[in-house]
A and B are shown apart, each in its own frame.
Chain A
Amino acid sequence: MTIHDKTFESKFAVVGRSVKRSDTLEKVTGTACYAGDVALPGMLHGKTKRSTVAHAIIKRIDVSKALALKGVKAVLTHENVPRVLHYGSPHPRSASVTRDQYILDNRVRYWGEGVAAVAAISEEIAEEALDLIEVEYEPLPAVFTIEDAMRDGAPVIHDNGLPQNQVLPPVIVERGDVEKGFADADFVIEGEYELGRPTPAYMEPNICVAQWDGNGKLTFWSSTQTAFMVRGALAEVLGIPLNKVRVLVDHMGGGFGAKQDLFQHEFLCALLARETNRPVRMEFTRKETFLGGRTRHPGRIWLKQGFRKDGTITAREAKVLFNSGAYGSHGPGVTNVGTAALTSLYRCENVRLEGRCIYTNAPIAGAFRGYGVVQTYYALDLQMDEAAEKLGFDPAEFKLKNAVREGDIAPSNHPIVGHGLEDCIRRGMEETGWPAVRRHGRDTGVKRRGWGIGCEMHGSSAYPGIKEQGNAIVKMNEDGTVTLLTGTAGLGTGAHTALSQIVAEELGVPFETISVVQGDTDVVPWDIGAFASHTTYMGGRAAQIAAADVRRQVLAHAAPQLGATPEELTIRDGVIVVEGSNRSMTLAEAVAPQRGMPAIQLVGVGTYTPTKSYSFAAHFVEVEVDTETGEIRVLQVIPVHEIGKVIHPIAAQGQIEGGIQQGIGHTLSEDYVIDHQTGRSLNAGFVDYKMPLSMDMPPIRTIILETAPDPGGPYGAKGVGEDPIIAIGPAIANAVYDAIGVRFRRYPITPEHVLAALRTKKQEVA
């Protein structure tokens, strides 16, 4: 259930209503086209051979037996692919990503890295051929933890000139005078927080299909959040101009940030297709989505804060250490964003933060919903809860007192425009009956309950790390219907529905008259990709601007027909009316071709360069802990979100519920584990990587406020994609403390951790 607060009578016709999503019919009837549905005449199947060592030089690689297998058409190794150093995630001129990958290298840096690729007439033959490729490795010492990788004499994983296997120079953020802040403190608290390794585990495994035409042009279907970035990387690495690469992506089965990266197979697929002169399809198995996929950055956070007796924060110091795995991917971006996030959420003038990201021979960490902030706010919010207790405050009151306000300097170094964290906390307290619901460890039975609160804020758009830009083209057809051309990706979030609503609203036409053209780099305007919670905020604003342009053209065209000036005209539900008169005509009448006059050209172009807005949330959670088995059950969640103007309430609610489900998994069970002797993955599959399913989900009562719209977003809309996964974790950990009086400075919190901690507590009491 959504309680969707109406602070004012809606002045909108389409925006703010849960219209039937534009992708509903094709998805429920199975006609929606995913990259995996592409089947071309003569298509071959490609497979990647993956390393069985974590760190080694390839001494010898022999593909003769594989090539001799009937049905095998081509085999690629580091010996016959172009050696071009490229970005793992190609954001243009961005400091967020690293340039440290080759298509195939003569060296492997993690267990599961691709070392060769085969194209064959069937998947089965390609798989069989992989087993026939002989690889002789010369092992190198491997390191899997941050500690080992930073130690003197550790193997150098990438020779980038930085010591201690650092991916980037340390990120240092300083505001005010932290020494003075601690000197002014009545109370100082510090703690170390340990971060597990969740993976995005998107429903649709990575997949691409490559086809070259006779003019040397590559058509490339791929499940990617960043079609234009894929186009750029393919062109750069393959040495062809952009007009010779066309990237297509219609629907996607999720990405959660990770599908901004390139995963080796994109290049391999294109090269296999070129070599064989036939289309080639490469699809990851579920196991490969773990082995060759991306995870959230694991690591460790040391955090220290000083407080005055009245609860004011006087100083905050943090050392953030992220494990990047074998390649940098989004390490710089995640380290910057995650570290800088600690400047805010709870107000503090004196801050010194240090963030480091370290190469190891572990699986690659990349971009993942919450982008470093999941990690750092977990630490911050848990410590605030602890400090509240030590200072004698209720945690919600304490967080409310310290909550970020309008005008505070955001992590992006801009004053916050429109805030809402206070509203979220207050509303959640009302809804739950806080603080009466709290248990304070009172329960004495086997199963004990508790309530917790967790807070978050998150930016829409990656500014200032990336100077972003959203584009849109809106065309009105000669019957008054409308076509929106957008480069924003359809991850499954309902973004194209939201964009269509915005266009319909701006033009004053029914939602059903809008159709969307998406995901074709040859057709739609350039797009930076779907990430950073910015699609509706930025792409939506661009669509609004383009629609406003068409509206202006239409009214200019209609005005003489109605004997009025354009300023006197309004479009409502597809009808142009002269305000204050009974004169009107339909849009179709206004723009229809007349005898002797062809259809008029009505095309609007919108470009929007955003700065940043922040969304806010407070999650209230009730848990039950079984003190004999250590199991933690989430009984209910009340998430309160401030996301500006809501374009599609049900889709927004879906984002929030999905984020909570993913966040519950991260906090309680999801951890991709590797063997620290060999680097081999121990749970590369859904048998032992456990995400909560629908049956595990507690009731969620979502409350969306609309109290702090952002002037930068369409109709005041802000992002919602990443927010819900950030607040749920600390809310659960804090609720567990309320239930059993144990603070877990880590995730996931497994039943074994709970039992061990209860045992320790019992011994301490004794």
Chain B
Amino acid sequence: MKRFEYHEPASLEEASRLLAELGATAQVLAGGTDLLVEIREHLRPVTHVVNIKRIPGLRDFACDDAQGLRVGALITAREVETSPQVARLFPNLVSAVGQLGSIQVRNRATVVGNICRASPSADTLPPLIADGARLSVFNGNGERSIALEEFFTGPGRTVLRPGEIVTGISVPPPGAHSGRAYIKHGRRKAMELATVGVAVTLEREAGHCREIRIALGAVAPTPIRAREAEALLRGEAFTPERVAAVAEAAMTESTPISNVRASAEYRREMVGVLTRRAITLAMEAIQ
């Protein structure tokens, strides 16, 4: 492994100052499951590692009907996966974190880390985007809030400015008569990157779709919302024809690439199949 300088700041202020001073080759370490591999495999030039695990106040973890979900920067994927409250309110997120890496990885990896890595195929992103999650970002003086779906600018790239640290993520409480689902398409059940990920969160009212958000992973440079597809269903009845049209529109909105994992054509086709399936699953999940 390439040599790097290691820092252990005791406060957010100190961490922020370090990151601002050290520049782009300084990286935050929380779980480290991505970072250390990337350093080892020479995928990311890192000269400084800033461990934030000594910083107090980053371990918030709460989930209830009134406030929704709040996950601090140091909460692991496994903690979220095994929480009965999260399973009750956000089964889509539990499904996503439960398919991230392996149990060993999930015991170290943090949900916020999975977000900040900004991989287009990251499992947690589509369900969190579909549920309207927001990030709390410390910027040296105070906090600002960023909608998760506006956080990403490209593979591995975000709107974070030098010295900014994501301290946690919050998800609003589920609406009445709402249902949610996340479907990951991969080549095997564990230790796998999504070939396509589709999350659907919807609300039903008198047999019609009151609200729907569709988030797609691994089919564009960032996770995306399929807004045109959503518009086709919003306010409409859930007929099979309508759902098929939504799936078709989601395919059109995706811009996948071809690589060794799958061809662009196959990924696009899966967007259609999985969007349709995710809508059905989300419908079935409505209490």
Name A's B-contacting residues (CB within 8 A): 124, 127, 287, 628-630, 669, 673, 682-683, 686-688, 690, 692-693, 695-696, 751-752, 755
Contact = CB atoms under 8 A, between A and B. Distances in A.
A686 B188 contact: no
B262 interface: yes
B187 A690 contact: yes
Interface string B137-178: 000000000000000000000000000000000000000000
Interface stretch (B20-28, B64-72, B189-197): B189-197
A693 B103 CA distance: 13
Interface in B98-136: none
Given A686-B191, A752-B266, 15 more contacts: A124-B1, A124-B2, A127-B2, A628-B273, A629-B270, A669-B188, A690-B187, A690-B188, A693-B188, A695-B190, A696-B189, A751-B266, A752-B262, A752-B263, A755-B269
A630 B273 CA distance: 11
A673 B260 CA distance: 8
B180 interface: no
B263 A693 contact: no
Contacts of B269: 755
A673 B273 CA distance: 27
A695 B190 CA distance: 7
Interface in B253-268: 259-263, 266
Nearest to B269: A755
Most interface-central of B3, B188, B270 (chain A CB within 10 A): B188
A683 B262 CA distance: 12
B7 to A, nearest CB: 20
B168 to A, nearest CB: 29
Interface string B53-68: 0000000000000000
B187 A683 contact: no
Contacts of B204: none
Interface residues of B, number: 21
Nearest to A682: B260
Contacts of B273: 628-629
B260 A693 contact: no
Given A124-B1, A673-B260, A755 B266 contact: yes
Nearest to A689: B260
Nearest to A690: B187
A664 to B, nearest CB: 10
Contacts of B270: 629
Closest 3 CB pairs of A and B: A695-B189, A682-B260, A690-B187
Contacts of A688: 260-261
Contacts, number: 41
B185 interface: yes
Contact of A693 (B190, B261, B262, B266): B190
Contacts of B260: 673, 682-683, 688
A688 B269 CA distance: 21
A669 B191 contact: no
B17 to A, nearest CB: 29
A673 B259 CA distance: 11
Contacts of A755: 266, 269
Contacts of A673: 260
A690 B193 CA distance: 11
A686 B37 CA distance: 12
Given A628-B273, A755-B266, A693 B187 contact: no
Interface of B: 1-3, 41, 185, 187-193, 259-263, 266, 269-270, 273
Contacts of A692: 188
A695 B2 CA distance: 34
Contact of B188 (A628, A682, A696): A696
Given A124-B1, A629-B273, A690-B192, A669 B187 contact: yes
Contacts of B191: 686, 693
Nearest to B270: A629
A688 B188 CA distance: 11
29 contacts: A124-B1, A124-B2, A124-B3, A127-B2, A287-B41, A629-B185, A629-B273, A630-B266, A669-B187, A669-B188, A673-B260, A682-B260, A686-B191, A688-B260, A688-B261, A690-B188, A690-B192, A692-B188, A693-B188, A693-B189, A693-B190, A693-B191, A695-B190, A696-B188, A696-B189, A696-B190, A751-B262, A755-B266, A755-B269
Contacts of B41: 287
Nearest to A672: B260
A514 B262 CA distance: 53
Nearest to A123: B1
A687 B270 CA distance: 21
Nearest to B277: A628
A693 B101 CA distance: 12
Nearest to B261: A688
A630 B269 CA distance: 11
A682 B259 CA distance: 9
B98 to A, nearest CB: 11
Contacts of B1: 124
A631 to B, nearest CB: 8
B53 to A, nearest CB: 25
Contacts of B193: 687
B228 to A, nearest CB: 22
A519 B192 CA distance: 37
A683 B259 CA distance: 10
Nearest to B1: A124
Contacts of A287: 41
Contacts of A693: 188-191
A695 B189 CA distance: 6
B25 to A, nearest CB: 17
Contacts of A669: 187-188
Contacts of B187: 669, 690
Contacts of B190: 693, 695-696
A382 to B, nearest CB: 23
A669 B261 CA distance: 10
A682 B41 CA distance: 15
A630 B191 CA distance: 21
A751 B190 CA distance: 18
Contacts of A127: 2
A682 B258 CA distance: 12
Contacts of B192: 690
Nearest to B262: A752
A693 B262 CA distance: 20
Nearest to B263: A752
A470 to B, nearest CB: 39
Contacts of A751: 262, 266
A686 B260 CA distance: 12
A124 B3 CA distance: 8
Contacts of B3: 124
A555 B58 CA distance: 76
A426 B185 CA distance: 39
A688 B187 CA distance: 9
A124 B2 CA distance: 6
Contacts of B263: 752
A755 B185 CA distance: 15
A695 B269 CA distance: 26
B215 to A, nearest CB: 19
Nearest to B273: A628
A688 B259 CA distance: 10
B78 to A, nearest CB: 16
B34 to A, nearest CB: 12
A669 B260 CA distance: 11
Nearest to B190: A695
A227 B115 CA distance: 49
A693 B192 CA distance: 10
A640 B251 CA distance: 45
Nearest to A695: B189
- Of the listed residues A127, A683, A687, A692, the one surrounded by the most CB atoms of chain B closer than 10 A to its CB is A687
A176 B269 CA distance: 52
Contacts of A686: 191
Nearest to A691: B188
A673 B41 CA distance: 20
Nearest to B102: A693
Contacts of B259: 682
